[in-house]
């Protein structure tokens, strides 16, 4: 299988900052330089480039080519993956497919965005007709409606959600790359008393848009062995679903495509939810974490709060959660934000988590969320399972 033949030989990440004074390509160059130093690869050996979506480059129809030019890369394969917060995972899956097909041999996966400093996003599709005129102006409002619907159906224990926020913040305190503004301890009471943004979404439910970059260097297992790598990280399962239940006129917005993508990823990896050693879900809002726990089968639909109360999500607990702080407590680097949790999962499997290193590194589960559609659940859901030296 192409996924199992893929080797992640290096990872890199910049400091996440509230607003960068550096160009997005300067951040990309730092990632490239770090990966070359870390792995010993020569720049000329890189013949593939896959980028995540980027608010910085949103209006540039030639974003991947321009980035390749800025970084001085001559390539056989080049692509921007534009499935929102799922793009970093999607880029890794597509890189595996490209390498397996012989389209390239070694790929740079670059997740960079300076959205806070330069946002070229142009809203289209349903927004101007169906949401903006009615005051639904962004993700907090959408998640506010989603939270209210979940609460209506199942009830919602906000203190349980606060437990997730506190666990991630504790991890951010141990992460030097996390945005400094967010590296402050919080309690469940702080979460419950934080300012209301879009009822019932609180300030401490929400991500803060930041600038930063991360990346991976990926090749095939045989080449990694030839280069002398004794430790690599391998993607062993992947699932992706876009427009989940789109053919139905009315859907349950508390259900998402992670239920389908998760089953595919677990089946490919030969694992189940109980086997997961660390969990790195896409976390633009706290309730998204709980919903993914349900959709991935950690607990039944509607029982997420009870599951949260019964488990320990700290890095020393039974289900370590976003051990770098996640996007909510490390900062969301625009549309490259999904790379933050992916890089953390890879870091843990390399055993380089430092003061937040988890004990069990047999695998890591990483997810993505891409897009908030009108009157539907998330546009794209992605799930990936990683193991060391599988």
Provide the Cα torsion 227, 228, 231, 235; round to 10°. 30
Residue 363 — φ and ψ, nearest 5°? -165, 170
Does some domain include residue 100?
Answer: yes
pLDDT at 101: 96
For residue 145, being part of any structural domain is answered with no
Whether residue 89 contacts residue 346, with contact meaning beta carbons closer than 8 Å, is answered with: no
pLDDT value of residue 218: 98
Rounded CA separation 365/345 (Å): 7
- SS (HEC) of 179-221: CHHHCCCCCHHHHHHCCEEECCEEHHHECCECEEEEEEEEEEH
251 CA to centre of own chain: 25
Joined tokens for residue 212: 């930063």
321 falls within a domain: no
Number of neighbours of residue 253 by Cβ within 10 angstroms: 18
- The answer to whether residue 37 is domain-embedded is yes
Which residues neighbour 110 within 8 Å (Cβ) at sequence distance 6 or greater?
28, 31, 32, 49, 50, 51, 52, 67, 213, 215
pLDDT of residue 375: 76
Question: CA-CA-CA-CA torsion for 196, 201, 204, 206, nearest 10 degrees?
Answer: -120
What is the tens place of the pLDDT at every residue in 48-95? Answer: 999 999 999 988 889 999 999 999 999 999 999 999 999 999 999 999
**The pLDDT value given to residue 1:** 52
The residue range of the domain holding 21 is 6-120+210-226
Q: Distance between CA 208 and CA 179 in Å, rounded? A: 10
Count of structural domains within the chain = 1
Q: Is residue 110 part of a domain?
A: yes
Provide the β-strand partners of residue 111.
214
- 98 inside domain: yes
CATH of the domain at 72: 3.40.47.10
CA distance linking residue 74 with residue 69, whole number of Å? 8
Q: Which residues contact 261 (CB under 8 A, 6 or more apart)?
A: 239, 240, 241, 381, 382, 383
List the one residue out of 84, 3, 5, 12 whose CA is nearest residue 41: 12
Q: What is the pLDDT of residue 247?
A: 86
Strands 364-370 and 279-280: parallel
Neighbours of 1 (CB within 10 A): 11
Establish if 44 belongs to a structural domain. Answer: yes
Q: Name residues of the chain where pLDDT drops below 70.
A: 1-2, 390
Residue 216 lies in a domain: yes
Nearest residue to 112 (alpha-carbon basis) of 178, 175, 189, 25? 25
Cα distances (angstroms) measured from residue 370 to each of 49, 331, 336: 21, 17, 11
């Amino acid at each position: 299988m192409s996924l199992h033949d893929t080797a992640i030989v290096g990872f890199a990440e910049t400091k996440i900052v509230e607003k960068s004074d550096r160009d997005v390509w300067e951040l990309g160059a730092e990632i490239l330089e770090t990966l070359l130093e870390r792995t010993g690869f020569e720049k000329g050996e890189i013949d593939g480039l896959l980028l995540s979506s980027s608010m910085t480059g949103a209006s540039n129809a030639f974003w991947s080519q321009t980035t390749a030019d800025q970084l001085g890369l001559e390539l056989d394969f080049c692509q921007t993956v534009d499935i929102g917060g799922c793009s970093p995972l999607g880029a890794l899956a597509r890189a595996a497919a490209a390498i397996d097909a012989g389209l390239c041999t070694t790929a740079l996966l670059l997740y960079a965005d300076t959205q806070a400093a330069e946002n070229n996003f142009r809203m289209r599709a349903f927004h101007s007709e169906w949401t903006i005129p009615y005051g639904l102006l962004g993700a907090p409002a959408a998640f506010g409606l989603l939270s209210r619907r979940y609460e209506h159906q199942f009830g919602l224990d906000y203190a349980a959600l606060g437990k997730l926020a506190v666990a991630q913040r504790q991890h951010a305190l141990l992460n030097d790359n996390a945005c400094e503004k967010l590296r402050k301890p919080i309690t469940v009471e702080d979460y419950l008393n934080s300012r209301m943004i879009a009822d019932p979404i609180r300030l401490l439910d929400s991500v803060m848009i930041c600038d930063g970059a991360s990346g991976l260097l990926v090749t095939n297992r045989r080449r990694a062995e030839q280069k002398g790598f004794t430790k690599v990280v391998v993607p062993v399962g992947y699932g992706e679903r876009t427009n989940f239940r789109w053919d139905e006129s009315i859907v349950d917005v508390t259900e998402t495509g992670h239920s389908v993508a998760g089953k595919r990823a677990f089946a490919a990896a030969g694992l189940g939810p109980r086997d997961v050693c660390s969990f790195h879900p896409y976390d633009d809002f706290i309730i998204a974490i709980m919903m993914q726990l349900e959709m991935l089968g950690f607990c039944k639909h509607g029982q997420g709060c009870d599951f949260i109360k019964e488990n320990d999500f700290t890095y020393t607990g039974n289900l370590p959660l976003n051990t770098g702080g996640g996007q909510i407590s490390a900062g969301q680097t625009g549309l490259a934000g999904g790379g933050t949790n992916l890089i953390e999962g890879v870091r843990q499997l390399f055993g380089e988590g430092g003061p937040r290193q988890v004990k069990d590194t047999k695998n890591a589960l990483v997810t993505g969320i891409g897009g908030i559609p009108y009157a539907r659940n998330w546009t794209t859901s992605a799930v990936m399972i990683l193991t060391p030296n599988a």
